[in-house]
Structure 1
Amino acid sequence: MSPAADTTTEPVLTGGPRHVAIIMDGNGRWAQARGRPRLFGHHAGARRVREVVRACPDLGVKYLTIFAFSTENWKRTQVEVAGLMSLFRRYIAKETKDLYSEGVRVRFIGDRDRLDPKLVDLMRGLEEMTRSNDKVHLTIALNYGSRDEVARATKLLARDVAQGQLDPEDVNEETLTRYLDTRVLPDPDLVIRTSGEARISNFLLWQSAYAEYEFVDTLWPDFSPEELARLCRNYGARDRRFGAVRA
């Protein structure tokens, strides 16, 4: 299954990335700098997501993937984890109608087995409601880790080989890609990490093999559509060779 055809009008910004992936970091520090609990920052970060999604069409960004909760985030305090799960439920319930009316298609990637069944039901409902939308494809990585994703994909691939549905000789990079959570999405062109940290934190490792990276000091709740536009313009100025050499 391939992504739906692009039916958007000509974007204001041309030559920019079609798929942007963002590691949204710095919510907790943003809140603590204001003398507030970390969850206050997560709520502010959720509001920022809405603004960034709305900015995408004018920037020519068709696909936006955001890192909401990693497989490693379970190590945080029980209070913070519970607060985040509550925030996810509230975000989906509150934003569903607007996302639908604004033409956003929503997908979730990650392992859903550990998530609360009520949250999973909300996720499925949002995916189903927006499945015909095509203005922006918003993918939310929730309980996601790239190594976990590859391990789960490999397990499914091995099962198909064992059942005789796949010839081991046919296994290659393209084959494995079809088993990943992101199989219907193009690879990201640009990966952004906010908050001044310069690491990729187990996010889209396979898919980002040839992505361009931007590490910015801005904490996620302060990350603006204008900064996204600047980074997209920077991307458009880069010489992308994908391992080749210009003649």
Structure 2
Amino acid sequence: MIPFKKWFGSNTEGEEAARSLAADNIPNHVAVIMDGNGRWAQKRGLPRVAGHHSGMKNVKKITMAANSIGVNVLTLYAFSTENWKRPKEEVDYLMKLPLEFFPKEIDELVANNVRIRMTGWQEGLPEYTLKAVQDAIDRTAGNTGLILNFALNYGSRKEMLRGIQQIAQDALDGKLKPEEIDEARFSKYLLTDPLPEPDLLIRTSGELRISNFMLWQLAYSELWFTELAWPEFTEERFYEAVQEYQRRARRYGGL
């Protein structure tokens, strides 16, 4: 049974759920597709951006939940390369969320030894968004605990194509021989390097797809879906996903 680390705002039900987990089988890396913010808001007669605001507040709760049970990396799919197709008002709001989230939560993240990381392309992101993220990265650079990795302006197909282009260029430059290209070498050309591949993927809101998210890295990840939208996804449901992960046998193609 896992020794549960308390954090501000934890509750008895969450603590009990956390303590029921097997301490020797906690997923090293959990990735989350935080889906359903806009639809959650619209069902309540609210503008879509209200859902994104509520979703932002849920980030800290799930981060602390992951940290409390010993998850080492938590990757949150915050904004995809396809999300630029959304209405400008919504995109502009999403780009400003880091300016609200990090100043408000950074002290507690630092106190809990959380380290901020970003996976994605800086090109196209507003300067104020980049500054807020970079300031958080710099502020937590000395931390050694949970890596909170935001997939921001990220798309997996673009990532893999870029990796292939870089491999081709290295081969042309004589830095790499074709026979030296294997899975481990290719992984080093991806934006997620040197993070481990996710053990568990969680997607909220009932959608059963992975939406151009870590297509290479999720090859052997366990997938867990819930009908709950991201703003209503609680610590207890997070532990439920980990419990389900612990019940599964990961055979990687073997018996």
Measure the CA separation in 1 of the matches of 2:105 and 2:164.
Answer: 34
CA contact (8 A) 2:156 2:215 kept: yes
Kindly state the Cα deviation for residue 154 of structure 1 after the two structures are TM-superposed: 1.8
CA-atom RMSD, angstroms?
Answer: 1.5
SS at match of 1:191: strand
* Structure 2 counterpart of 1:27: 37
Which residue matches 2:10? none
- The match for 1:73 is 83
How far apart in 2 are the matches of 1:161 and 1:120? 33
Amino acid at match of 1:152: R
Which SS does the other structure have where 1:64 is aligned? strand
Deviation at 1:118, TM superposition (A): 2.6
| Residue aligning to 1:100 | 110
Query: 1:106-145 to 2 correspondence within 5 Å?
Result: 106-145=116-155
The 1-side partners of 2:240 and 2:42 are apart by: 27
Contact 1:59-1:232 at 8 Å conserved across structures: no
Q: Distance in 1 between matches of 2:131 and 2:37?
A: 26
The equivalences for 1:80-229 within 5 A come to 80-229=90-239
The count of residues paired between Structure 1 and Structure 2 equals 237
- Superposition deviation, residue 96 in structure 1: 2.6
Partner of 2:249: 239
Does the CA contact (< 8 Å) of 2:98 and 2:132 recur in 1? no
**Structure 2: how far apart are the matches of 1:139 and 1:120?**
14
Structure 2: tracts of 5 or more residues without a match = 5-18
Unaligned runs of 5+ in 1: 1-8
Q: Deviations over 1:204-228 (max 9, x none)?
A: 1100100000111001000000100
Give the secondary-structure state (helix, strand or coil) at the position aligned to 1:183. Answer: coil
TM-score (ref. length: structure 2): 0.88
One-letter amino acid matched to 1:133 = N
| 3-state SS of 1:35 partner | coil
2:8 counterpart residue number: none
Moved over 6 A (4+): none
Q: % of aligned pairs identical?
A: 44
Q: Structure 2 CA distance, aligned partners of 1:170 and 1:114?
A: 34
Tell me which moved more, 14-23 or 228-237: 14-23
**Which letter does structure 1 place at the counterpart of 2:134?**
R
Aligned partners of 2:50, 2:128: CA distance in 1, in Å?
23
